[in-house]
Amino acid sequence: MPDTKALPAITPVVGKYKKYALPLAVAVLVIFHTVGFWGLLFSGRPEYFQKLTPMNLLLTNTLLFAFHRRWNVGFILFAAVVFAVGFFSEVLGVHTGLLFGDYNYGQALGTKIWDVPLLIGLNWLMLVYTTGHLSNYTPLPWFAKAILGATLMVLLDYFIEPVAMAFDFWSWHGGHIPLSNFIGWFLVALALQVYFQQAAIYKNNKLAPYVYVVQLLFFIGIFILL
C-alpha cells in the first residue's frame, strides 16, 4: 500500500525547485543559440552546425511546449491546424510561386515531403504561438493584437531571409528576396494570429516571449555580421 503520508512532504520540494524551471530553460535557449551563432560564423565549420539546425529547432520547441498547460482538444486542434496551414502554404509556394515567390529549400532543415522540410510546419507553430503571446502583453483589442503578432512574424522573417540563403536553409531564384514574400508571410500569419486570438487555449506560457526574443537576437546578430 503506498505511503500517502509521504506525498505532502514531496509537494514543498517540487514547489521549491519549480521556480528555477524558467531561468534554466532560458539559459539552455541562450547557450544553444550562442553555440549555433559561434558555429555558423566563427568555427570554420559552418556546414557542421547547419546540420544541427533541426536539433536546435526541436529542442527549442520541446522547451517551449513543456511550459504549455492544458493540453486539451482545443489546443491539439490549434497546433495541428497551424502546423498544416504553415506547411501546405510552403508546399504551395515552392511548387507554384504563389504566396511568397519563387524559392526552394536546401538540405539544412532535414527531411522533406513534397520538397518542404517537415520542420517548417513546426516553425510556423512556434512563431504563431510565441508572437501571439507577445501581442497579448498589450492592451490592444483582439484584432489589433492579431495584426501586431503577424507584424512581429514578418519582422523576424526580414532578418531570417538573408541568413537562410547564406546557410542553405532555402534560396530565392535570382538571389533576390521579393516583396511578395513579406506580403504573403503577413497574410498567412495574420489568418493564423486571428485563430490564435479566438482559440480557447492556454495563453500564459512564460517561456514564449523569451523564445521569440532569443530567435530575433540570434538572426539579427548573424544578419549584421554576414
Q: How much is the average pLDDT of 170-181?
A: 92
Inform me whether the pLDDT recorded for 17 exceeds 60.
Answer: yes
Look at residue 217 in the predicted model and tell me its pLDDT.
97
Look at residue 3 in the predicted model and tell me its pLDDT.
52
Q: What is the pTM of this model?
A: 0.91
| Domain-embedded: residue 41 | yes
| Domain-embedded: residue 79 | yes
| Domain-embedded: residue 177 | yes
| Domain-embedded: residue 1 | no
Look at residue 145 in the predicted model and tell me its pLDDT.
98
Residue 46 CB neighbour total at 10 angstroms: 16
pLDDT band at 183 (very low <50, low <70, confident <90, very high): very high
Among 144, 145, 129, 124, residue whose Cα is nearest residue 211: 129
The number of domains in the chain is 1
Question: Kind of pairing, strands 170-172 and 112-113?
Answer: unpaired
User: Percentage of the chain with pLDDT > 90?
Assistant: 81
| Domain-embedded: residue 196 | yes
Look at residue 168 in the predicted model and tell me its pLDDT.
86
| Domain-embedded: residue 69 | yes
Residue 190 CB neighbour total at 10 angstroms: 18
Residue 81 CB neighbour total at 10 angstroms: 14
Tell me which residue range forms the domain holding 129. Answer: 6-225
| Domain-embedded: residue 46 | yes
| Domain-embedded: residue 176 | yes
